[in-house]
A and B are shown apart, each in its own frame.
Chain A
Amino acid sequence: MAARPPALGSPRGTRGEPRRPARNTAPLLLLGPSCVALVLLFVVPIGYVLLLSVTDPRVGFAHYQRIFTVPLYTRVLVNTFLTSLVVTALCLVLGYPVAYVMTRRGGSISTLLLTIVAMSFWTGFLVRTYSWLVVLGSKGPVVAAYQALGLGKAPQLLFTTFASTLGMTHILLPYMILALFAVMKKIDANHLKAAASLGARPGAAFREVFLPLSLPGVVNGSLLVFVTCLGFFVTPVLLGTPRDMMISQLVNQQIEELLAWGFASAVAVVLLAATGVVIGVYNRFAGLDRLWG
């Protein structure tokens, strides 16, 4: 208690004891700047977007009606969620073994893997997207290897749903691995030894002990990847086909090319609401406070 600095603006009690209200306002005052920042940077803009969606250019719900009646918009919305789901599943399948090896092996292998993942994480996603253009291109190594093996004319890889999914998975994989790793490295190795001493084979020990303990990482990583993926659009535009269009691309088109801010806002609100539902479900079952380990 003695180490606590005097509260801002509170009259130091003449009898040595600070007065009661001052003790309560100090933490609130410290919270002030971040609250102001949150309100200015998040609450106000999102409120403005909400307002725009029902007032620009006319007051009403016409934009929302259009989103749910014109097939294009529902189609893109559904595609956005399906794509995010597929990418999340792929990241999980590819990322889990990597995170597992990183945790269980330790030492130089773990450091090496962590370095590779972090390097990939820090490389700009535009750079990584353009690298796929080279790798999968008609003069790229994949096509060359295909022909060198005498398999004939290579199938078209670039500008397909496959390429777009691959690109997004590659970009989001580090998020999944790091989220899994953060949880896995906290699992006490003695638990597995205990399981073995009680007669569990390695497979059973993994299934019965390690996997359930790593589930929070699975949920965290999946949420991170899924929500980030919902907002993607450059990668599908560059690597995929027009059929792989994501919702943010529509928002961009409406804002940049057509100056239709009201409609763009409505699309953004629908995306926000849908994302909110996903996070709400997560919070119900896993608890948001556990997201960061």
Chain B
Amino acid sequence: MTKLREVDRGRRAFLKGAAAAAAVGPLIITDRSIAQTRTIYVNTWGGSWTAAEEAAFFKPFTDQTGIRVRTVAPVSYAKLKAQVQSGSYEWDITAITQADVLRADREGLLDPVDWAVVKKEKLFPDAVYANGLAYCALGTNLAYRKDKFPQGGPKSWADFWDVKKFPGNRSMLNNAVRSAQFALVADGVPPDKVFPMDVDRAFKKLDQIKPHIKVWWTQGNQSQQLMRDGEVDMMVMWNARASELAQQGHPVEVVWHGATITTTMWAVAKGAPNRKLAWEFLQFAVQAKPQADFANRLYYGPTNPEAFKYVSPEVARQLPTYTENVKVAIKPDTVWEADNTARIQERFTQWLAG
């Protein structure tokens, strides 16, 4: 469907251009190309995610600069490669995980940071990584239903694995690296020593929990449905999705010990037609105020430490980049993850199907 839209847009632009050229010649063309260069296209997840981006980033940016922001959903890592290889662009900017940014940058799919537009002194430390700009942080946590555990719920991955002490239906995210990380922490590896991963040890530990996992979920909506409808009592869940349920009044508790914190990055597709404007937007998007606005809406952690000035303490302690949460979470190793994801994923998929 997105493919169709792309073709359609190209066709319409062409028809408009051709008509204009035929009618009035160069005058209109110039006018049109200015109008066109004042719009950027952003690849986004759609739904509440895009609504929050609209309010926190896009609208303030347009108000400030006059540059319009159009969105294309859902996020597709594969389309980044398709666009760069084919030279036909549907969007300029996308948001992908840090490990994916690293892999994309190695494949030459990303536009190098444009230091003529982006001002180093306006960025926070570590904002730039592999030609991406840190956007927000997402926790992958243990979450459970408080009503199912009146004597106190699981507090760690070891508890999640302990089916005698904490009986109940369980669900995990269908993701190789995350599952292996949690298994290692459950097996007694300290969260800051998970990388480099002992993959064999992780799978051995995963063997123990496999019969007790009712469902391996793949989509955020699906995870919320499982928790909300009481299909499961404890599960691996993205922090923002769990906090959203709690905010709606569901008895959901989020555990930060042994959680993984992944950074989502903004990146510009190599050769994107509106790259200059894209970098201008990204410079704006990593500033404290819009970052805080976004965190206040969806519980994703701001990457800019200054943003916490604009976040209430009540919200702040639910965010993945809150200092106390970072301390007890798994220490990530992006390079190791980018190097090993494909290998572990194949083994994991085979293990799941076996």
Chain A interface (Cβ within 8 Å of chain B)?
70-72, 75-76, 133, 137-139, 156, 158-159, 237-238, 241-243, 245, 250, 253, 255-261
Contacts and interface: CB of A to CB of B under 8 A. Distances in A.
A253 B345 contact: yes
Give the 6 A-B residue pairs with the shortest CB-CB distance, closest first.
Answer: A242-B352, A72-B350, A159-B215, A255-B78, A256-B78, A258-B342
B231 A253 contact: no
The binding surface of chain B is classed by DSSP as helix
B342 A253 contact: no
Contacts of A72: 346, 349-350, 353
B103 to A, nearest CB: 7
27 contacts: A70-B346, A70-B350, A71-B350, A72-B346, A72-B350, A138-B229, A139-B230, A156-B214, A158-B231, A238-B222, A241-B215, A243-B352, A243-B353, A245-B353, A250-B349, A253-B345, A256-B78, A258-B341, A258-B342, A258-B345, A259-B77, A259-B103, A259-B104, A259-B107, A260-B342, A261-B78, A261-B81
Given A70-B346, A259-B81, A261-B81, A137 B353 contact: no
Contacts of A137: 229, 231
B322 interface: no
Interface residues of B, number: 26
Given A137-B231, A159-B215, A257 B346 contact: no
Contact of B77 (A70, A243, A257): A257
Interface string B225-252: 1000111000000000000000000000
Given A72-B346, A237-B218, A256 B225 contact: no
Interface string B315-354: 0000000000000000000000000011001100110111
A256 B77 CA distance: 6
A161 B27 CA distance: 64
Interface of B: 76-78, 81, 103-104, 107, 174, 214-216, 218, 222, 225, 229-231, 341-342, 345-346, 349-350, 352-354
Given A72-B353, A237-B218, A242-B216, A133 B225 contact: yes
Contacts of A259: 77-78, 81, 103-104, 107
Contacts of B104: 259
B75 to A, nearest CB: 10
A242 B172 CA distance: 12
Contacts of A139: 229-230
B168 to A, nearest CB: 12
A261 B346 CA distance: 15
Contact of A138 (B231, B345, B352): B231
A75 B237 CA distance: 30
A260 B214 CA distance: 30
Nearest to B214: A159
B76 A256 contact: yes
B279 to A, nearest CB: 24
Contacts of B231: 137-138, 158
Given A133-B225, A137-B229, A138-B229, A76 B353 contact: yes
A157 B205 CA distance: 27
B331 to A, nearest CB: 23
A255 B229 CA distance: 32
A70 B349 CA distance: 12
Nearest to A240: B215
Given A253-B345, A256-B77, A259-B103, A75 B353 contact: yes
A158 B226 CA distance: 11
Nearest to B103: A259
A193 B116 CA distance: 87
A137 to B, nearest CB: 6
A71 B347 CA distance: 11
Nearest to A130: B225
A253 B77 contact: no
B346 to A, nearest CB: 7
Nearest to A79: B353
Contact of B345 (A75, A237, A257): A257
A260 B78 CA distance: 9
A76 B204 CA distance: 23
Contacts of A133: 225
Contacts of B342: 258, 260
Contacts of B346: 70, 72
Contacts of A243: 352-354
A252 to B, nearest CB: 9
A126 to B, nearest CB: 11
B99 to A, nearest CB: 11
Given A70-B350, A253-B345, A256-B77, 16 more contacts: A72-B346, A72-B349, A75-B353, A76-B353, A137-B231, A138-B231, A139-B230, A158-B231, A237-B218, A245-B349, A256-B78, A257-B77, A257-B345, A259-B81, A259-B103, A259-B107
A158 B215 CA distance: 9
- Which of A133, A242, A250 has the largest number of chain B CB atoms within 10 A? A242
Contact of B349 (A156, A253, A255, A261): A253
Nearest to A57: B107
Contacts of A76: 353
A156 to B, nearest CB: 7
Nearest to A260: B342
B165 to A, nearest CB: 22
